[in-house]
Amino acid sequence: MRLATWNVNSLKVRLPHLLDWLASQQPDAVCIQETKVEDTKFPREEIEAAGYQVAFSGQKTYNGVAIISRSAPEHVHAGIPGFDDEQKRVITATIQGVRVVCAYVPNGQAVDSDKYQYKLRWLAAFEAWLATERRSQPRLAVLGDYNIAPADEDVHDPAAWKDQVLCSAPERAAFQRLLGLGFKDSFRLFPQAEKSFSWWDYRMMAFRRKMGLRIDHILLSPQLAARCGACQIDIEPRRLERPSDHAPVIADLAD
């Protein structure tokens, strides 16, 4: 089973890239973030024509998440239960017996901002919910844009990013608490090239200069981690015309 996550930064603009990528990579399920589209305007037909099914939770302009899968998504649920949030950041579905959580963690803007406080509150609610899910779902995968670079090796310039949003100690601690629930960061289950990143700023030719961060992650419960044979970041879509600023991350699980 091939699982993937990709922040597309507008599903409308990136739909051609996504359809090409589905055809070339043949994933079984893809978690999409920043669709930026209302549910009534979701491009369902185009994706279904490519042989995939969809579950989505979106809004105008901002946020928005979707799960695209070969087989029918079952037991679909949007949001974090018990956490009141107008921002559409989570959708969950069972696919081929795997409970798949697609998450778009708040960016946080700056460590001294209200949005940063919202990010930390959001992460606390997310952790509490995943702790309960872990008990009932042995095959649990949490994919998405975490907006957290877990360690300095995930940052092109750790000194410049020290204590900045995406890299601050409270955010990294929140990420470690998720790992503390028993999840594995699938990317780090394997040897990886240095300067492996999943996001590069649009400005300053950051991609060409390899100035990025690794903030998109695939967390796997122990039972799934034991089945994981590979995890990679596919930077090819970042080279295209009018790319998303994020690259997809792919994990392969043995059947």
Partner DNA sequence: ATGGCTATGTAGCATAGA
Q: Binding-site residue total for DNA (CB under 7 A)?
A: 28
Helix-then-strand count for the chain, H and E: 6, 14
In a 3-state reduction of DSSP, which class is residue 252? strand
CA-angle at 233, arms to 230 and 236, nearest 5°: 130
Please tell me which residue in 28, 145, 185, 245 is annotated as part of the active site. Answer: 145
Residue pointed to by tokens 């779902």: 137
Which position among 10, 53, 71, 192 is part of the footprint of DNA (CB under 7 A)? Answer: 10
Which tokens go with 248? 């997809």
Question: In whole angstroms, what is the distance from residue 29 CA to residue 250 CA?
Answer: 10
Task: Give the contact letters, 50-79, x = binds to DNA (CB under 7 A), - = no.
Answer: ----------xxx-----------------
Contact mark string toward DNA, 169..208, x via CB under 7 A:
------------------------------x-xxxx----
User: CB of residue 90 vs DNA: minimum separation in angstroms?
Assistant: 14
CA angle 193/199/200 to nearest 5° reads 100
Q: How far apart are CA 207 and CA 198, in angstroms?
A: 10
> From the centroid of its chain, how far is CA 32?
7
For 31, the 3-state DSSP assignment is strand
Segment interacting with DNA (CB under 7 A) among 43-51, 67-75, 174-182, 242-250:
242-250
Considering the complex, state which of residue 184 and residue 214 has its C-beta at the smaller distance from DNA: 214
Among 2, 115, 188, 227, binds DNA (CB under 7 A): 115
The rounded distance, in Å, linking the Cα atoms of 33 and 162 is 26
Is residue 223 involved in binding DNA (CB under 7 A)?
no
- Annotation marks residue 154 as catalytic: no
Residue 145 annotated in active site: yes
Q: Which residues are catalytic?
A: 104, 145
Residues that bind DNA (CB under 7 A): 7, 9-10, 12-13, 34, 36, 60-62, 106-107, 109, 115, 145, 147, 165-166, 199, 201-204, 213, 215, 242, 245-246
